[in-house]
Chains A and B, each alone.
Chain A
Amino acid sequence: MSTIDWLVLCLTLFGIVFYGIWKSRGAKDLDTYLLANKQLPWYHVGLSVMATQASAITFLSAPAQSFNDGMRFVQFYFGLPLAMIVLCITFVPMFRKLNVFTAYEYLEKRFDTKTRLLTAALFLIQRGLSTGLTIYGPAIIISTILHTSINTTIVITGLIVIGYTVYGGTKAVSYTQILQMTIIFAGLFLSAYLVVTMLPAEVGFVDALSIAGKMDKLKAIDTNFDWNNRYNLWSGIIGGFFLHLAYFGTDQSQVGRYLTGSSVAESRLGLVMNGLLKIPMQFLILLIGVLVFTFYQFYEAPLFFNKVESAKIEQSPYAANYQSLESEFKILSAQKREQVLVLTQAFEQKNEALIEKTSGQLKITEQKVKEIRKKVPELLTKNDPDADANDANYIFLRFVTDHFPKGVIGLLMAVIILAAMGSTASGLNSLGSTTVVDFYKGVFRPAESEARYLAVSRWSTMAWGVFCIGAAIFASKLGNLIEAVNILGSLFYGTILGIFLVAFYLKKVNGHSVFYAAVIAEVFIVYAWIVDLTAFLWLNVMGCLLLIVLAYLIQLIHDRKKPLNIE
Chain B
Amino acid sequence: MEEKEPPPFLKTWKNVYFLVVVVELCIILLLSAFTSYFK
Contact = CB atoms under 8 A, between A and B. Distances in A.
Given A212-B38, A220-B31, A221-B28, A268 B13 contact: yes
A213 B39 contact: yes
A82 B35 contact: no
A394 interface: no
Nearest to B18: A85
A210 interface: yes
A81 B28 contact: no
Interface string B1-39: 100111100000100110011011001100110110111
Given A74-B31, A220-B34, A221-B31, A279 B24 contact: yes
Given A81-B20, A279-B27, A269 B7 contact: yes
Given A85-B21, A209-B38, A212-B38, A265 B7 contact: yes
A269 B13 CA distance: 10
Contact of A213 (B16, B32, B38): B38
A258 interface: no
Contacts of B13: 88-89, 268
Contact of B24 (A78, A94, A218, A263): A78
A432 B20 CA distance: 33
B18 to A, nearest CB: 9
Contact of B17 (A88, A93, A97, A219): A88
A233 B35 CA distance: 13
A218 B31 CA distance: 10
Interface in A257-311: 263-265, 268-269, 272, 275-276, 279-280, 283
Interface residues of A, number: 33
Interface string A158-173: 0000000000000000
Contacts of B24: 78, 81-82, 275, 279
A97 B1 CA distance: 10
A218 B38 contact: yes
A263 B20 contact: no
B38 A275 contact: no
Contacts of B7: 265, 268-269
Contacts of A418: none
Contacts of A220: 31-32, 34-35
A84 interface: yes
Nearest to A279: B27
Contacts of A97: 1
Contacts of A280: 27
A81 B21 CA distance: 7
B37 to A, nearest CB: 8
Interface string A68-105: 00010010001001101100111001100100000000
A339 to B, nearest CB: 18
Contact of A276 (B4, B23, B28, B39): B23
Interface in A235-276: 263-265, 268-269, 272, 275-276
A81 B39 contact: no
A554 B5 CA distance: 40
Interface string A502-518: 00000000000000000
A74 B34 CA distance: 13
Contact of B35 (A81, A89, A94, A218): A218
B4 to A, nearest CB: 8
Given A78-B28, A89-B1, A218-B35, A272 B21 contact: no
Contacts of A89: 1, 13, 17
A237 to B, nearest CB: 9
Contacts of B38: 209-210, 212-213, 218
Task: Kindly name the residue among B6, B7, B24, B27 whose own CB sees the greatest number of chain A CB atoms within 10 A.
Answer: B24
Nearest to A237: B28
A221 B24 CA distance: 13
Contacts of B23: 81, 276
Nearest to A283: B31
Contacts of B32: 220-221
Contact of A272 (B4, B20, B35, B39): B20
Contacts of B31: 74, 220-221, 283
Contacts of A81: 20-21, 23-24
A276 B28 CA distance: 13
A462 B14 CA distance: 42
A82 B25 CA distance: 11
10 contacts: A82-B24, A89-B1, A89-B17, A90-B1, A97-B1, A213-B37, A218-B39, A219-B39, A275-B24, A283-B31
| Those 7 A-B pairs whose CB atoms lie nearest each other, nearest first | A213-B38, A265-B5, A93-B1, A218-B38, A220-B31, A81-B24, A85-B17
Given A71-B35, A221-B32, 12 more contacts: A74-B31, A78-B24, A81-B23, A88-B17, A89-B17, A210-B38, A213-B39, A219-B35, A220-B32, A264-B5, A265-B6, A269-B7
Interface of A: 71, 74, 78, 81-82, 84-85, 88-90, 93-94, 97, 209-210, 212-213, 218-221, 233, 263-265, 268-269, 272, 275-276, 279-280, 283
Interface of B: 1, 4-7, 13, 16-17, 20-21, 23-24, 27-28, 31-32, 34-35, 37-39
